[in-house]
Amino acid sequence: LRQREASGRRMGVIAGAASRLDGLGGRILIIDDNERQAQRIAAELSIEHRPVVESDPDKARISAGGPVDLVIINGAAKRFDGLRFAASLRSTERTRHLPVLAMVDPDDRQRMVKALEIGVNDILPRPIDPQELAARVKTQIQRKRYTDYLRNNLDHSLELAVTDQLTGLHNRRYMTGQLDSLVQRSTLGGDPVAALLIDIDHFKKINDTFGHDVGDEVLREFALRLASNVRAIDLPCRYGGEEFTVIMPDTQLEDAMRIAERIRMHVAGSPFRVAQGRELLTVTISIGVSATLGEHDSPEALLKRADEGVYEAKASGRNAVVA
């Protein structure tokens, strides 16, 4: 059964990819100052695609920044330099990944070579043969769909790798990487890095009394309050379970203490509304604070001192900040 499930999931992935690849009609931007030629190409393409014609390069640039799947450009336009325009699409972030087909006269070897040097995706030899046009356009759009799909998936998995799914804060792995480089910079003579380690008080009791789902709600609400009470340069993270960290670049211990105290009050000061508003819970936290001490300090030692602060805060009766 497990094997069937696994292969079912694989099928799902493939079907998902395929469904993104079918419906190959694309938005095609034709950039050509030869209006008759442009309209002829547009008419050919309009059976399967949505072509738009621009004869003015400034307007074409604006259109290219919008939702476009493919650019067809006259490489031998009269009123502007088509190949230069194609090169500028390549050097602009927004249009870098757009496939470009350049219409070139096959006898014009020089222009042909230049087009390929610029990195156009394919050449459309003139005069344009409708079947060849359809085939080359289809190939480019198919590739575009697939690379878009891969790029979206990559972005998604990169985000998953650095984000805690329950709270949306940074996760421990991301925090550790950032902390390593910040501490290294500070030991080389940079400003101190401060760390807060925050542990929710008697969290087990919240789970035991109201259930794990309410516990999760408390974690999410806490994360919101945490994120809105630190500065833009600080990194709030879920360290694990009901423990959180805030990494504070360029921060002295005293400033970190003040921010920790502000967070503590914003948590203890107003109750958490959970379970669709049916419960109001007073939540408190214990915070340990530390800051780097010079050239021999390390991320591990920094976090250990913050952890000792948490331990003392708990021992002193909780709902406290200790450096």
Instruction: Give min distance, CB of 210 to Mg ion, in A.
Output: 15
Q: For the residues of 15-76, what is the DSSP string, one character each? A: HHHHHHHS----EEEEE-S-HHHHHHHHHHHTTTSEEEEE-SHHHHHHHHTSS-SEEEEETT
Residues counted in the chain: 323
- Taking the C-alpha atoms of residue 267 and residue 285, their distance in angstroms, rounded to an integer, is 7
Q: From the CB of residue 112, how many other CB atoms can be counted at a distance below 10 Å?
A: 17
164 is a contact residue toward Mg ion (CB under 5 A): no
The contact mask relative to Mg ion for 118-137 (x = CB under 5 A, - = no) is: --------------------
Q: Does the footprint of Mg ion cover residue 199 (CB under 5 A)?
A: yes
303 binds Mg ion (CB under 5 A): no
297 touches which of ligand GH3, Mg ion, none (CB within 5 to 8 A by kind)? none
> By C-beta, is 54 or 242 nearer to Mg ion?
242
Q: Which residue in 279, 280, 262, 263 sits closest to 271, CA to CA?
A: 280
Beta-bridge partner residues of 198: 244, 287
Q: Which does 215 bind (CB under 5 to 8 A by kind): ligand GH3, Mg ion, none?
A: ligand GH3
Q: Closer CB to ligand GH3, residue 137 or residue 197?
A: 197
The site for ligand GH3 (CB under 6 A) is made up of 166, 199-204, 207, 212, 215-216, 219, 241-242, 314, 318
By CB under 5 A, residue 222 contacts Mg ion: no
Exposed e or buried b per residue across 128-142, where buried means at least 16 C-beta atoms within 10 angstroms of its C-beta: eeeeebeebbbebbe
Concerning whether 217 is annotated as a catalytic residue, the answer is no
Among ligand GH3, Mg ion, none, the one that 225 touches (CB under a kind-dependent 5 to 8 A) is none
64 or 198: CB nearest ligand GH3: 198
Residues near 64 by Cβ (< 8 Å), separated by ≥ 6? 29, 71, 89, 94, 95, 98
Angle between helices 82-90 and 109-118 (to 10 degrees): 10
Picked from ligand GH3, Mg ion, none, the partner binding residue 212 (CB below 5 to 8 A depending on kind) is ligand GH3
Cα separation, 109 vs 204, in Å, equals: 76
Helix orientation angle between 130-162 and 35-45, rounded to the nearest 10 degrees: 70
- Least separation, in Å, of the C-beta of 38 and ligand GH3? 59
Q: Please state the closest distance from residue 289 (CB atom) to ligand GH3, in A.
A: 17
Nearer Cβ to Mg ion, position 242 or 297? Answer: 242
Q: Which of 54, 242, 261, 295 is catalytic?
A: 242
Under rule CB under 5 A, residue 203 binds Mg ion: yes
For ligand GH3, the closer of residues 28 and 322 by Cβ is 322
For the segment 228-257, give every residue that binds Mg ion (CB under 5 A): 242-243
By beta-carbon proximity to ligand GH3, the closer residue of 3 and 276 is: 276
- Total of residues contacting Mg ion (CB under 5 A): 5
Dist. CA 46–CA 52, nearest whole Å: 9
Smallest separation, CB 196 to Mg ion (Å): 14
Could you tell me which stretch among 193-201, 266-274, 287-295, 315-323 binds Mg ion (CB under 5 A)? 193-201
- 76 contact partners, CB below 8 Å, separation of at least 6: 82, 103, 104, 105, 108, 111
Active site residues: 242
Chain residues that interact with Mg ion, rule: CB under 5 A: 199-200, 203, 242-243
